[in-house]
Amino acid sequence: MSLETFHASSALSMGVELELQLVGEHDRDLASAATDLLELAQRTRFPGDIKPEMTDCMIEIATDIQDHHAGLLKQLEAMRDALLAASARLNVSLCGGGTHPFQHWTERRIFSTPRFQHLSGLYGYLAKQFTVFGQHVHIGMPDADSALHVLHALNRYVPHFIALSASSPFSQGSDTLFDSARLNSVFAFPLSGRAPFVLDWARFERDYFSKMEDTGIVRSMKDFYWDIRPKPEYGTIELRVCDTPLTVERAAAIAVYLQALCCSILAGDEPDPQEDDYLVYTYNRFQACRFGLDGLMVHPRSHAALPLRDDIAQTLERLAPAADALGSRAALDSLHRMVRGGGNDSTRLRAVHARSRNLLAVVDDAVAAFAQ
Amino acid sequence: MIFEAGRIFELVGWPAVLLAAWLAGELAHRGLGVPRVCAYSLAGIVSSALNTVQADAQTTAALSFLANFALGLFLFELGHRINLRWLVNNPWLLVSGIAESLLTFFVVRGIALAMGQPDDIAMVLGALSVATSPAALVRVVNDLRCSGQVTERALHLCAINCLISVLLMKGAIGYWQLLASGSLVNALWNSAAILAVSVGCGILIGIPLPWLLRRLRADERGVTTVFALAVMLVTLLTQGVNVSPLLAALTLGVLIRRRKLLLTPAQRNFGVLGDLLTVFLFVFVAGMATWPTTATALALAVLMSAGRIAAKVAATAAFAHVSGTSTRKGALTGLALAPLSTFALLLLEYSRSAGFGLAEGALSAIAGMVIVMEFVGPLFAQWALMLAGETQHEERA
């Protein structure tokens, strides 16, 4: 199978995928309920897409193609409400959050589809440890070359999305000291990381994808677990670094932030990407994972050290006109308040833990936040 | 002779039998994939048949207390998993629990009547058949680390049918008292008072306990110890005032969960204490059962067992779709409710001590069913949970 043709899509259209946790009512541990929830949710017309994920205590929901924040949020809320109604009948709870605070990976069961069973055989314990929950955002691109251009121009903003969405401070029963511990699980996969620096689709296909395909390591774009990857069959680029936030409101706000950034890049308001931008990439990404909004990032061009919090706030302010045009100003303002005020979801979960000293209370809080 | 061989054997009899039962349980589980509790019961039946352990009245009372305590631990754990809000969110589940219980009652009673049992005994047999053994079910669920709809539903339906079984049993006793004394007030008073006092005992302990644990910030072992002592306390308290220790333990479990207090979870199965008491409970209870002596009694036992399971499977399958699961999973839930015994026998034992004369006659009739279900029940439960794909693959030690 060679690389699929890039199907151009309506520029700046959006789609959001959320991986959600299924937790038991009595012990708040992850619960094997994906099959039952899928069956029940599909009895009536589900307001979106719903499918199983790697292990049977997670499900993935996806929106249709949306152009504006209002429609996106409305659909996310409708899907959430449908899921809450179904899960109440099955005695399971649903929540966001990039990791479950205390589940033990040895207890996970791989969902029985051939693809997941194949991945489990290939990756061993990595597959089960991959019981982490992310938000993926697709943004429509007018053509393949623009997709690669935007993908690389976004490199310096990747830490923003990590810090804004971070909701995985706890893993396997302890505080990891990371705001996003989830990404550490993702980095363990051999084909994770960033896309090679190629800005021309024909070259990307000839000089990179075909060669990789010849090695037998990959068969489709699906096999790359890059932070941002092109998705030719949808005609989009897909941002994959976000933890699933605790609320669908934040998930929608993060999606429209990406939409506004892509709008600005496509309009030529951002400097063209260069290969050397990536010199600081992994360091900045680490800072965002470890310290969240309190991280210090190094600007790829000026090499100045900037508090991530300030850089995000300034970017949000700069994007205000684009957000106005796209109808997402209120959502960006909510991100601005979060950056300047209360902090991300990891801060919230750590505060619950500090008060209660109990990881069950942390899951309870996440469950309550999701149902809000 | 410096020592008396018989006396020594009397002293070491129990631990020796329990050790043998434990070994048999491990062999059964690892070698044959059979639930451990089946082997414990077998050991109990063999030891009872060989008459290895003899006990005087005082010892029997102590052992009976231990058995109630052990069963109390299981009921507490079951109560702890019960989410009353689920029954509100999904009322069809409650309906399916009531339907399953009543259908079982009428089917078993009908079979007993058809096989020539008098109506009062048939009624007691029906009432006792309703209950699923919480001990066997919780043990199988914990041993296989089950998680999923069939597991959740079976545990909730188990709590419902235990409660209905107690009510039906009290109803049968009340009916008997009505016949004996002619006083309806007396009959109703007896049932209602027992129910209220049992639940009250659970509440009495259940209210201050979580508060204490939170203040102490107890860890997993601390919580386990305190819960175990609380169950012991309600067992003694209820035995003292002659009400149901089992209902009190169930109440205690539900209450601690319902108050939504964020406690560190107790060790599954109450850790080593639970393991030890499980062996004892199953050996002790199985020792109380006797083989049917006639072909008719055996036929009655087999027919009642088959009718009981068929009733449970039929009712849970019938209500599966409306309660939000597939008919297949509904049927498997019914199958997982198969274990019978401990609860029924202790209930009967208790009823006898409460002066219910008919229980004597019912005991011999139900003993046969107990012996059949002692082995078949946990096996069916395990089979149902495996077919539902809700068991964990065990790590090789």
Q: Report yes or no on B17 lying in a domain.
A: no
Q: What is the pLDDT of residue A253?
A: 97
Q: What is the pLDDT of residue A37?
A: 94
Q: The complex's ipTM?
A: 0.83
Q: What is the pLDDT of residue A80?
A: 97
Cα(B383)–Cα(B334) distance, rounded to whole angstroms? 12
Interface with chain B: mutation pick from A28, A36, A367, highest number of B CBs within 10 Å: A36
Under the banding of pLDDT at 50, 70 and 90, the label for residue A42 is: confident
- What are the structural domains, with CATH classification, of chain A? 14-366 (3.30.590.20)
Cα(B152)–Cα(A23) distance, rounded to whole angstroms? 13
Q: Give the pairing of strands A14-24 and A49-52.
A: unpaired
Q: Which residue in the set B80, B217, B262 is minimally distant from A360, CB to CB? A: B262
Cα(A243)–Cα(A168) distance, rounded to whole angstroms? 7
Rg, C-alpha atoms of chain B: 20
CB of A148 closer than 8 Å to CB of A200:
yes
Flag if A32 and B148 touch (Cβ within 8 Å).
yes
Residue of chain A whose Cα is closest to the Cα of B264: A358
Residue of chain B whose Cα is closest to the Cα of A355: B262
CB-CB neighbours of B207 under 10 Å: 13
B323 in A contact zone (CB under 8 Å) = yes
Q: Report yes or no on B357 lying in a domain.
A: yes
Q: Report yes or no on B32 lying in a domain.
A: no
Cα A38 → chain centroid: 22
pLDDT tens, A265-281? 999 999 999 999 999 99
Cα(B156)–Cα(B141) distance, rounded to whole angstroms? 13
Q: Which residue in the set B80, B148, B262 is minimally distant from A358, CB to CB? A: B262
> Which of the two residues, A104 and A200, has the higher pLDDT score?
A200
CB of B74 closer than 8 Å to CB of B134:
yes
Q: Report yes or no on B311 lying in a domain.
A: yes
Q: Report yes or no on B87 lying in a domain.
A: yes
Q: Report yes or no on B26 lying in a domain.
A: no
Flag if A33 and B257 touch (Cβ within 8 Å).
no
CB pairs under 8 A between A and B: 61
User: Measured over all CA atoms, what is the biggest interatomic distance in chain B, rounded to whole angstroms?
Assistant: 72
| Residue B242 zone, left/alpha/beta (φ > 0; ψ -120 to 50; rest) | left
B142 in A contact zone (CB under 8 Å) = no
The stretches in chain B having pLDDT less than 50 are 1, 394-397
Domain hosting B343: range is 61-276+287-373
Which CATH number covers residue B119?
Answer: 1.20.1530.20
Cα(A320)–Cα(A339) distance, rounded to whole angstroms? 15
Q: What is the pLDDT of residue B373?
A: 78
Quote the number of domains for chain B.
1
- Whole-number Cα distances in Å, B298 to A21, B122, B254, B293: 50, 16, 38, 7
Q: Report yes or no on B119 lying in a domain.
A: yes
CB of A166 closer than 8 Å to CB of A244:
no
Cα(B29)–Cα(B65) distance, rounded to whole angstroms? 28
Flag if B86 and A25 touch (Cβ within 8 Å).
yes
A144: pLDDT strictly greater than 60: yes
Residue of chain A whose Cα is closest to the Cα of B91: A89
A51 in B contact zone (CB under 8 Å) = no
Q: Report yes or no on B45 lying in a domain.
A: no
CB-CB neighbours of A330 under 10 Å: 12
| Residue A357 zone, left/alpha/beta (φ > 0; ψ -120 to 50; rest) | left
Under the banding of pLDDT at 50, 70 and 90, the label for residue A337 is: very high
Cα(A26)–Cα(B265) distance, rounded to whole angstroms? 10
How close is the nearest chain B Cα to the Cα of A33, in Å?
Answer: 6
Rounded average pLDDT over A150-166: 97
Tell me the CA end-to-end span of chain A in Å, nearest whole number. 44
Q: What is the pLDDT of residue B396?
A: 35
Q: What is the pLDDT of residue A118?
A: 77
Q: Which residue in the set A32, A40, A112 is minimally distant from B324, CB to CB? A: A40
Q: Which residue in the set B81, B324, B395 is minimally distant from A26, CB to CB? A: B81
A334 in B contact zone (CB under 8 Å) = no
Least confident of A45-54, A157-166, B95-104, B115-124: B115-124
Residue bearing tokens 């060790």: B267
Interface with chain B: mutation pick from A32, A42, A83, A362, highest number of B CBs within 10 Å: A32
Residue of chain B whose Cα is closest to the Cα of A22: B148
pLDDT tens, A69-98? 999 999 999 999 999 999 999 999 999 999
Helix ranges restricted to H, A206-275:
210-215, 248-266
> Which of the two residues, B250 and A251, has the higher pLDDT score?
A251
> Which of the two residues, A210 and A111, has the higher pLDDT score?
A210
